[in-house]
Structure formats: C-alpha cells, structure tokens
Chains A and B, each alone.
With several copies, the nearest count.
Chain A
Amino acid sequence: MTVTCPDLSVEIAGLHLQNPVMSASGTFGYGVEYEPYLDLSQLGAIVTKAVTLEPREGNPQPRVRETPAGMLNAIGLQNPGAEVFIDDKLPALQRFGVPVIVNISGRSVEEFARLAEMLSIDGVDALEVNISCPNVQEEGMTFGVDCDMTGRLTEAVCAATDLPVIVKLSPNVTDITVIARAAEQAGADALSLINTLLGMSIDVERRLPHLGNVTGGLSGPAVRPVAVRMIYEVARAVDLPLIGMGGVMNAGDALELILAGATGVAVGTANFVEPAAMHQVIDGIAAYCRRHDVARIADLVGAVAADQA
C-alpha cells in the first residue's frame, strides 16, 4: 500500500479539523496580522489571543526577550475586552472558514463563566480556558496549579456554555496529570498543553531584569522536551483529546507531540521566526505520512512505542 493522499483530519471535542495544526494563543493575534504571509483557510483552526471581560492594558515594557532557543514574554493579557473582540475582531475571523477557538482568561470563576456566556455566539467554535497564564499575578496563576480551583473553574465554564471547552494547562506544576484529571472530571472536552514555563532573565550590565514584569513565560524550542514529556504523561492519565504545543518549529517537532499523545498541535513562537511555519508543518506532516504509509494522521496519536525504548 502506498498512501498518496493521507487523511490529516482530526476530531477534537466535537470539532472537525481539516488538519491538526492551529495557532497557539497569543502568538497569532486575531489572525489577520498574518494574512499577508499565509493562507489561513488551510489551517486546522485559529486560536485567538486571550480575551478578558474588561479591556486590559498589559504589562510595562520590555515585554519580550530572547533566551537560548526560546523567548520570555510578559505581555500581560493586553486585549480590548470581550465586547470589542466580539464586535471588531471576531467578524474578520469568519472569512477563513476554519474553526475559531477563543482563548479566555479571567480573574475569578465568575469572570470566566460570564466570558464563556458572552462568547457562546455564532462564529465561536470552542473556548480555550487559559487557567495558566503565568503573567497575571492575581488568581489566574492559582487556578492552573491547584486541582480544586481547576475543577471549579472548568465546571463553571462548562455550565455557562454549550461550546466545547478546552482547558489549557500550566506546566509550572509538580504533577500535571492531577490537574488534567481534575479538568476531565469537571467536564472539560479537551485539554491543551503546555502554556509557558515561568522564567526570568537579567541584564547583567545594568543589573535589571530584562522584562518590565520581572518574570515572564518561556516558550520556543527550548521547552519542547518538557512539552513532549507532559503530553506523554497526560495522554496516559486522561481520556480526553489533547492539543499539544511548546516549541514546535517544523513537522518533525509536531510529530513528536502527536506521537506523545496530542491530537492537535498548536504553533506559537515559530510564527515569529517563520510566518509560514504552520504551512510548512502541515506539508511536512503530509509528506511524513506518505513516506511512512500512514493513511490517517489520527493513527499516530500517542503511537510512540515507549515500551520498546
């Protein structure tokens, strides 16, 4: 058998994606910024920058800094708020004809629930609940590292919407499987992981933190081994589909995450390096399937043969 036209489509939380590849929240704006560089209609889905109930100014600059094979960011959830998002940003996202997943963030369970309600409208295909942004020093951090909070939050969001609920997990925890299970039990339809690792870097000449916010979130290839490990662990702990992210630069990296257990793969930092990165990942996955006679990409999910290591 020779596979010439592999089936790249996947199902995640009831969504049908033409391929597993989507943008990682916060790295792709509201989609349109990247329109000059790639055909958005070819993506598996578009995941938006975090939306909050009220507008947020974000953190003081500097907000980003390169680190070895990675970057720190402390954007601080800058966004125009849910109302402006719905009126000004969401309509433009419709014309690409791919599922739109809206990343939401809040300061309390009530805020998250209210947001979920507001966003349960035409044009939004799923919600990604950002319980793990390391740059918000209020309750936001606590959610993602505590399983009770994760459970309560997930329940509240699920109760507030009929949309599929994807809970985005923080890697800054002792045991991510515990949090993953809490989200599953509370009704999450899918999980995404990993958000950024909490990091810091210092300008030694001036003896100042590089980031205005002192600490920030580490992303990019540097963190990929942590992402692969956590996806591998979570895939064995829950029965939910996973969206993996963390340092994917090319198809090989995406396949690592898929083999570890991710059904979908989000591309973040790589967009900054190569605006057409998602296309390259999609094409590369298709080429891999042809080369290895894989008829359906879904067959590779979690297919690493760890017992034969």
Chain B
Amino acid sequence: MPRATAILRHREEVVSGHYLLTLDCPEVAKAAQPGQFVHLRIGDGTDPLLRRPFSILLAQPETGEVQILVRTVGRGTGIIATHDEGVAYDLLGPLGNGWEAPAGGEDVVLVAGGIGVAPLIFFADGLRLMERQPYVRSIFGAANQEALVCWTEFAARCDEFTAVTEDGSAGETGLVTDVLAPELERDRPQHVYACGPDGMLAAVARICRDAGVPCYVSMEQWMGCGVGACLGCAVPASAGGYVRVCADGPVFDATEIDWERMKRR
C-alpha cells in the first residue's frame, strides 16, 4: 500500500528558506523511483487542509531513509520549516511514474531549475549506479548563487556540471536555456531530462524539439488527491484534452504536453 508514516530524523536549512528533510520511511525508501513524489499531510487539522506534494531527492533502501527538499513558499511549507526532529508525517507514496532510466552508456543532459533539482539528484544518483553508466552533463539554473540549492549534491553525481544564474553571482550569467542550446549543438545527447518552473520546461522542450533530442520533463501542478481520482492536476496534452500530473506524470515526454495551452503560473 503506497502509504506510510515518515519520521523526521534530520532537518537542515541548506540555504535560507530551503530545508533538506531526512525522513525515516523504509516503505518509500524501498519502492521509490527517481522522479516520483510523496504526498505529505501537514498536521491533522484543516489548516492546511490538503496534502502537499514533494519530489523525492534521494531514497536509501538500505537505511530506510528518504530525503526531500522543501522550499518555504506558503502556509504548509512554512509549518514544515518549524518542525523538529521526531515529527511524524503521514504520507502517500511513492506516487507518479518517475523517469525511465536510459538503456545505459549514452550521453544525457540533465537540466534543473531552482528547487527542480531535487528529483534530478535522485535520477543522477541512479544513473551512476548503472552497469553501463551514461555520460551525464548537467545544467543547473537559478536566480542567484543562493538559489542553486544542493548544487554540490547534484554536481557530485554528474560528469560535467554547469551553473547558471540570472544575476551572474555564480557560474554563467543567464538562463539554463542560454547554456542548453549551445550544449546540444556542441555534443548532441541521446536524452534530455528536465525539472523546473513551467516557463523553463517549455523553453527546454522547444530547444530539444528543434534540436531533435528526446526530452523528458517533470511537471508541477496544484493537486487535490495525488492519486489520479480528482482530475485537479491536469495539464494540457498535445493530443488534445488533459493529462494528470499525479498519475500520468509527473514525468512526461515533452512532446506530450501542449505548451501553447499551458498557463504560466
């Protein structure tokens, strides 16, 4: 049953307003695939009411530990930021499809935007453990140096790593797409994997389409149920209609998404 209790073992404010939570949750640690998420209940009352989805940053089946990275943006994440070790969370998960690992040995590029780095750390970790390790280049973009949260964890799992900041406080100056486009030209990878804000994903998808590189994106959307029942987390599909981020995703082949109809939120 994709449901468990997770005990908060360790909470670290990695950069201001970003908390790395280490949870004791053997069930999820065992079953989790990179790109999947957990749907966390915060408190037992009505404020907040709904669960909140968080990507799995790392899962250690041996120790039973699961890590998530939480950026405080509102009520629920604000409450998490006050939680002490020992707090128990009721969670559903692992949920969603996750990224399918490549066959092995190929060239891949990972593109992370801000907090979107979380599931890509898990994905990169998995690639490293493959028998025929792919060659992993990664691009990590954020507003500024601070927002390059957990970049060392990410960089350590990749063969090449490029940071990009909008204000130039670290790495290149600009957007991830400014780096991605020449990178694809320089050396064409077999796959691109991306996670970040919708606007970034749309741009990455376009660049990959133009370059003819298959691209897999992990999307975010407001969720009701998290299990595919409410159709609340819909995003527009290029085949018409909508697909559900929680059950059909959060990872999609970028060509499945109708980026034109996608509202920027």
Are the CB atoms of B222 and A63 closer together than 8 Å? yes
**Contacts of A114 on B, CB cut-off 8 Å?**
none
B225 contacts the other chain (CB 8 A): yes
Are the CB atoms of A33 and B3 closer together than 8 Å? no
Are the CB atoms of A61 and B224 closer together than 8 Å? no
- Residue-wise interface mask of B (41-63) relative to A, using a CB-CB cutoff of 8 A (1 in contact, 0 not): 10000111111000000000000
**Contacts of B235 on A, CB cut-off 8 Å?**
61
- Answer whether A58 and B231 are a contact pair too, CB < 8 Å, given A66-B49, A273-B41: yes
Are the CB atoms of A212 and B263 closer together than 8 Å? yes
**Contacts of A212 on B, CB cut-off 8 Å?**
263
B38 contacts the other chain (CB 8 A): no
Are the CB atoms of A37 and B1 closer together than 8 Å? yes
Q: Which residue of B lies closest to A56 (CB)?
A: B241
A29 contacts the other chain (CB 8 A): yes
- Answer whether A27 and B3 are a contact pair too, CB < 8 Å, given A68-B46, A78-B242: no
Contact of A275 (CB < 8 Å), options: B3, B50, B265: B3
**Contacts of A20 on B, CB cut-off 8 Å?**
none
- Answer whether A61 and B236 are a contact pair too, CB < 8 Å, given A34-B227, A34-B229: yes
Are the CB atoms of A73 and B227 closer together than 8 Å? no
| Contact residues of B: prevailing secondary structure | loop
- Residue-wise interface mask of A (56-82) relative to B, using a CB-CB cutoff of 8 A (1 in contact, 0 not): 011011111110111101010010000
Are the CB atoms of B51 and A64 closer together than 8 Å? no
A208 to chain B, nearest CB (A): 8
**Contacts of B222 on A, CB cut-off 8 Å?**
61-65
A164 contacts the other chain (CB 8 A): no
B226 contacts the other chain (CB 8 A): yes
Q: How many residues in B have their beta carbons less than 8 Å from beta carbons of A?
A: 35
- Answer whether A71 and B49 are a contact pair too, CB < 8 Å, given A64-B230, A272-B230: yes
A221 contacts the other chain (CB 8 A): yes
Are the CB atoms of A73 and B261 closer together than 8 Å? no
Are the CB atoms of B228 and A29 closer together than 8 Å? yes
Interchain CA distance A34-B226 in the complex, whole Å: 11
- Residue-wise interface mask of B (215-245) relative to A, using a CB-CB cutoff of 8 A (1 in contact, 0 not): 0000001111111111111111000111000
Contact of A271 (CB < 8 Å), options: B1, B225, B228: B225
Contact of A69 (CB < 8 Å), options: B47, B224, B240: B47
Interchain CA distance A212-B223 in the complex, whole Å: 14
**Contacts of B232 on A, CB cut-off 8 Å?**
63-64, 73, 75
**Contacts of B224 on A, CB cut-off 8 Å?**
27, 64, 71, 73, 269, 272
**Contacts of A222 on B, CB cut-off 8 Å?**
46
8 A Cβ contacts from B184-207 to A: none
B17 contacts the other chain (CB 8 A): no
Q: Which residue of A lies closest to B232 (CB)?
A: A64
Contact of A78 (CB < 8 Å), options: B221, B225, B234, B262: B234
- Residue-wise interface mask of A (111-141) relative to B, using a CB-CB cutoff of 8 A (1 in contact, 0 not): 0000000000000000000000000000000
- Answer whether A62 and B221 are a contact pair too, CB < 8 Å, given A57-B241, A75-B231, A212-B263: yes
A143 contacts the other chain (CB 8 A): no
B143 contacts the other chain (CB 8 A): no
Q: How many residues in A have their beta carbons less than 8 Å from beta carbons of B?
A: 40
B28 contacts the other chain (CB 8 A): no
Interchain CA distance A91-B230 in the complex, whole Å: 20
Q: Which residue of A lies closest to B247 (CB)?
A: A33
Contact of A60 (CB < 8 Å), options: B226, B228, B231, B236: B236
Are the CB atoms of B49 and A70 closer together than 8 Å? yes
A220 contacts the other chain (CB 8 A): yes
B40 to chain A, nearest CB (A): 11
Interchain CA distance A75-B262 in the complex, whole Å: 15
Are the CB atoms of A36 and B261 closer together than 8 Å? no
A28 contacts the other chain (CB 8 A): yes
B2 contacts the other chain (CB 8 A): yes
A26 contacts the other chain (CB 8 A): yes
Are the CB atoms of A78 and B226 closer together than 8 Å? no
Are the CB atoms of A63 and B50 closer together than 8 Å? no
**Contacts of A221 on B, CB cut-off 8 Å?**
46, 49
**Contacts of B229 on A, CB cut-off 8 Å?**
27-29, 33-34, 271
Interchain CA distance A1-B227 in the complex, whole Å: 44
8 A Cβ contacts from A213-234 to B: 220-222
Are the CB atoms of A69 and B46 closer together than 8 Å? yes
**Contacts of A69 on B, CB cut-off 8 Å?**
46-47, 49
**Contacts of B29 on A, CB cut-off 8 Å?**
none
Which 7 pairs across A and B sit closest by C-beta, in order of nearness?
A29-B229, A64-B232, A33-B229, A69-B46, A272-B225, A57-B241, A33-B228
**Contacts of B3 on A, CB cut-off 8 Å?**
36-37, 275
Are the CB atoms of A58 and B242 closer together than 8 Å? yes
Most chain A CB atoms below 10 A, which of B41, B49, B222, B227:
B49
A and B contact pairs by CB, cutoff 8 A, 6 listed? A33-B229, A34-B227, A36-B2, A66-B49, A66-B50, A75-B232
B92 contacts the other chain (CB 8 A): yes
Are the CB atoms of B241 and A36 closer together than 8 Å? no
